[in-house]
Amino acid sequence: MMSVHAEDVAPTTDEEKAFVAKRDAIADWESAYNDEQETRPQTLGVAMADSPVGAAGWILEKFGKWADLPTTGKGDPDIWSKFSEEELLTNIMLYIAPGSFVTATWMYHGKRLEGSQTFPAGTRIKVPTGVAAFPDPVFVPPPRSFAEKTYNIVHWTDMPRGGHFAALEEPELMLADLRAFVALVPDARS
């Protein structure tokens, strides 16, 4: 997810402008979860901590919308085509068993308080950066040219499939790309 960039970065090419327009249109429909957690983390956190079924519904909805999934005959995401019941229940239990849903929501509140959804104007990340650009249906990857305005991109792969949960959805693609990046950047191996 290359969603954090310097605040003065602006799209200049047609491809970059199309990306920003698409990103903004998707955010209009898909950012309510972020707004709730940024502004009222306790409300959501306590409700989810008190309701395992509610927590499961919240999490499964995100898997259904954010993963790169085929659709059923009714047009719904086919979550079972990519994830097993065990994988999904394990993920849900990582929030329910230790009671971590409340603290997980606070990350969004902290981001809002810090203003860390963008870097300060003029920021340039000089560390060699590798990007595995999975075709995430909600967190659309930017064009490489847009990411390069903030990051020192030395490795970029446009992935053929995989969404927000890329390491779980396409672990072989993710591992192969990570290995390619580490082999390319000598300092990354230490």
pTM for the predicted model, two decimal places: 0.87
Domain ranges of the chain: 28-114, 118-189
**pLDDT score for 157:** 97
**pLDDT score for 131:** 97
**pLDDT score for 145:** 97
Q: What secondary structure does DSSP assign to 13-49, as a single string?
A: SHHHHHHHHHHHHHHHHH-HHHHHHHH-HHHHHHHHH
Report residue 102's pLDDT band, with 50, 70 and 90 as the boundaries: confident
| pLDDT tens digits, one per residue of 58-72 | 999 999 999 999 999
Report residue 189's pLDDT band, with 50, 70 and 90 as the boundaries: low
Token reading at 178: 């990570």
Which of 175, 174, 179 is closest to 161 using CA atoms?
Answer: 174
Whole-number mean pLDDT of the chain?
92
* CB-based contact 163:136 (threshold 8 Å): yes
**pLDDT score for 129:** 95
| pLDDT tens digits, one per residue of 103-153 | 888 889 999 999 888 999 999 999 999 999 999 999 999 999 999 999 999
**pLDDT score for 67:** 96
- Assess whether pLDDT exceeds 70 at residue 188: no
- Assess whether pLDDT exceeds 90 at residue 3: no
**pLDDT score for 52:** 92
Report residue 33's pLDDT band, with 50, 70 and 90 as the boundaries: confident
* 3-class SS letters over 66-84: HCCCCECCCCCECHHHCCC
Which of 185, 138, 166, 143 is closest to 14 using CA atoms?
Answer: 143
